[in-house]
Amino acid sequence: MTGDLRIPDPPGEPLRNAVSRRIGALPPVSPIGVGYWRTVGDDDTNRGALEAAFGLCERGEALLVDNADVYGLDWGGSHFGACEEALGRLLSRDSTLRDRIVLVGKGGIIPGVPYDSSPDWIVRAVEDSLGRLRVDHLDAWLVHRPDHFTHPADVAAAMSSLRQRGLVAEFGVSNHTVAQVRALQQHLGFPLACVQPEFSPASLDAMRDGSLDWCCETGATPLAWSPLAGGRLADGGDAPPALLEALDAIAAREGATRAAVAVAFVLAHPSLPVALVGSQDPGRIAALAAARHVRLDRSDVYRIVQASDGRPLP
């Protein structure tokens, strides 16, 4: 150490966040997709939200819509499968919708069990989802949470049979450790195309537990759930005040909302995640399109990381 503390100006290069995403061989999708977990409104309300979500797509991009068979049991929903049925009604009323959507399903959570990824259940879960969604195939299907008591070779066999029958094009897993993902991949004759971890400025584990690194390694696409931490990063909630302050400062500079900056942070990771937003409000959904235009550099993202951690990086 010479005592010379002069630090060169950082390049301040903007991080890539706006480019289209690819999930396996599926058509390009917008980097912001929508989730159906909280979709318990009536058909007109849900149609309005979906129309707003199409505004998140740029030319040539489909909209990724994430659903699961278990959605509909909470958030004021009525039963297992209700959110798939809601989307199925919209798809059956407008035959043009299906081609504009990359349709992602999940299964394997059965409240009371609570996890079953046995081959019989996986096959039945997908067949039942197709019926509720009123479609002949899913673009991607994911195991929602790991079933520790099913061998990954059996999960792989079920996935392969669904693919051979043309019922599902691409596969992935959600909330799995990297070791679990690798074990499954080892038994599968084709690459897993996506994973679905929680990832937001308030929840950085996926960036540090290898989940996003595994995507960089293989080219699989992370579908980041709860990018606004379930709304806490937009409305304040119980998010760390220092994190809200950091997001607000960048938002003021960018002329953007705090929510848009939070989504832009998720999009800026080099694994090129799709941020799955969950708002049911057409105005709020439309406003998130601005996330694609927020310019973040490394000082910005590390400011957010340190505010989230509550301590400086070494």
Catalytic site residues? 71
- Binding string, residues 110-149; x marks residues near ligand NAP by CB under 6 A: ----------------------------------x-----
CA-based nearest residue to 31, from 301, 280, 271:
271
Shortest gap between Cβ of 2 and ligand NAP (angstroms)?
47
Give the up-direction half-sphere exposure of residue 310: CA atoms within 13 A in the CB hemisphere: 5
Does the footprint of ligand NAP cover residue 227 (CB under 6 A)? Answer: yes
The interface region with ligand NAP, picked from 5-13, 29-37, 54-62, 176-184 by CB under 6 A, is: 29-37
What separation in angstroms does the CA of 172 have from each of 105, 155, 208, 249, 301?
A: 10, 11, 20, 36, 28
Shortest gap between Cβ of 196 and ligand NAP (angstroms)?
5
CA-based nearest residue to 226, from 207, 250, 243, 202:
202
Within positions 230 to 269, which residues make up the interface with ligand NAP, using CB under 6 A? 230-231, 234-235, 259
- Token match 């400011």: residue? 303
Does the footprint of ligand NAP cover residue 226 (CB under 6 A)? Answer: yes
Does the footprint of ligand NAP cover residue 284 (CB under 6 A)? Answer: yes
Q: Six-digit token pair at 27? A: 């058509």
Does the footprint of ligand NAP cover residue 204 (CB under 6 A)? Answer: no
How far is 288 from 276, CA to CA, in rounded Å? Answer: 11
Shortest gap between Cβ of 60 and ligand NAP (angstroms)?
24
Q: Where are the alpha helices (DSSP H) in 134-231?
A: 152-164, 178-187, 205-208, 211-218
Positions that interact with ligand NAP (CB under 6 A)? 35-38, 66, 144, 174-175, 196, 225-231, 234-235, 259, 276-281, 284
